[in-house]
Structures are given as structure tokens and as C-alpha cells.
Amino acid sequence: MRNAAQILGVIAGVIGMIVGFFSYGYVSFIEWFGEVPDVAEQVRDPMLIKTVSLLAPILSIAGGAMARARPIWAGGMLIVAAAGMFHAFDFNAFTMFPIAMAGLAGVLALAAAGAGVDD
């Protein structure tokens, strides 16, 4: 279970980085060039999008990387990353895989810690 949490967490972080790059870039682009009515409008909370775009993939990759050594900490980090992505970006075609993978990795890491499973 720890190996699965490790792999899923790192993959979720990499996909989350791609989502984060585009989200951060969109917010910055609108701040720089301004809104185009009915085409490109600023999001409700640009600072939330920028913060989660940076922190959620880092938490996911770090949680995946430490899933074997510290599964409780890793599980918490992965679940926080999944919750952050869900809160900031909602659940859609671009975020369903990083949210689901980070959430599943967090549950697997916590389950491995609770069961005392050593791979």
C-alpha cells in the first residue's frame, strides 16, 4: 500500500503541476492584460488560485515521496493536496485525475500506517 501511495502521489503532483501552470498563467494573464467581457474574465479569488496552484502539487509530490517512511504525515499531506485542488479548481475533466489520485494515495498511506503494513 505504501508503494501505491508513493506512486499515485507523485503522479498526482506532476499532473497537478500541469493544471497549476495553466491556472496560475491564466490568472496572471488576466491581471496583466485585463478582462475581455464574455471571453476571458478574472476568477473570483485570484490569490487562492495562485496559492493552490503552487502548494497542492508540492504537497502531493512531497507526500508521495515520504509515503514509505512516514505514512501518517504523507497521508495527511496528500489528502490536504486533494482537498485544496478540489476547493480551488472544482472537479472537472482537467482536475479529476490529480484529485482522485492524491485522495486515494492519502487513504492508502493512512491505511498502511494503521494496519502496520510493510511492503
Report yes or no: 5 and 106 within 8 Å, Cβ to Cβ.
yes
pLDDT (tens place) for every residue of the chain, 119 residues total: 999 999 999 999 999 999 999 999 999 999 999 999 999 999 999 999 999 999 999 999 999 999 999 999 999 999 999 999 999 999 999 999 999 999 999 999 999 998 765 65
- The model carries a pTM of 0.93
∠ Cα 112 14 56 (to 5°): 75
Give the residue extent of every domain in the chain: 2-115
